[in-house]
Amino acid sequence: MAEFYAEGLLHRLLGLDTKGELDEVAKHARAEFTFHIVPNMNPDGSANGYLRTNAAGSNLNREWAPSPAPTTTLYQSEDANEKVTMYEAPTVERSPEVYHVLRKMDETGCDAFLDVHGDEALPFNFLAGSQGMPNWGRRLESLHGAFLAAYERANPDMQKEVSYDPDEPNEGMKNICSNQIALRFDCLSATLEMPFKEVSGRERGWGPNRARKLGASVLDALCYVSPYLRKEGNFWERLPEEDAYSHPSSKY
């Protein structure tokens, strides 16, 4: 489904369904942004029928930063500082997909980021933000709220009430892709999940065509928030009430 999403985005961005003719939003997006799009982050996993792991057996959504090793050993040193065995990531040997994409991002910088997934449990399209990162504050909260509100206006298959329960402050996992990007570049960053189940409360028939439309309509949301992505000052004070951040829940 993530590949169908990327296909819809690229078709609108390049005018592939309209003989090269671009609508006004696509024109604005191309003038405003430099896009870096990875249509499939895990081609080996796709070919082998895996959901998350690549050919080396690595869960690519846990390879974006070093983290405590699965067999962590904790001990107290003489100066009473707690130490922990770390799992190094990403690496060329175990997670080359992440390693090379992250190196390229370090070269170019990043102002907005989406990691597109499918979720097996919740029957909704939704965003999971970086609420558990130490740099989450009024700025990132407001960007997340405005982006999601604009996305919901552009496409009725998106909604803001239901998502994963947000991490508590400073308790998010830094090795998860969208968390690491939010922290590394201090930017709007989220995981976008599409459902394996039918979309609850929406027209039935979720599938490739609507995943493509969801990908195409992200341009509307990106263009809406583009003036604020690196804006200094309290820009949120001038945003309409409908753009306010809404604290989501996994309960529905």
Whole-angstrom distance, CA of residue 114 vs CA of residue 52: 17
Strand partners, 128: 191
Catalytic residue ranges: 193
Whole-angstrom distance, CA of residue 40 vs CA of residue 51: 12
Cβ-based neighbours of 157, under 8 Å, separated by 6 or more: 125, 199, 202, 206, 210, 213, 214
3-state class percentages of the chain: helix first, strand second, coil last, to nearest 5: 40, 15, 45
CB 187 within 8 A of CB 181: yes
